[in-house]
Amino acid sequence: MLTSSFRISIITKIEFLGWKKHTPEGYALARDFIRSAEVYPLTDRIAERAG
């Protein structure tokens, strides 16, 4: 259990949860881990700066 939150982008969340080698148990742990994160949405401004 984490004692504080952390920040990730929505793209990181998608990649982390979409990893093809998750076992059912591993996926459940990954979801629990990500619940502690503050997830930044992808906006047009972010997309333009990233490009």
- Candidates 11, 15, 8; CA nearest to 38 is 8
Quote the pLDDT of residue 3.
66
Tens digit of each residue's pLDDT (9 = 90 or more) over 1-51: 566 789 999 999 999 999 999 999 999 999 999 999 999 998 898 888 887
Backbone angles phi, psi at 31, to 5 degrees: -60, -40
What pLDDT does residue 2 have? 65
pTM above 0.75, yes or no: no
Write out the two tokens for 33: 């881990």
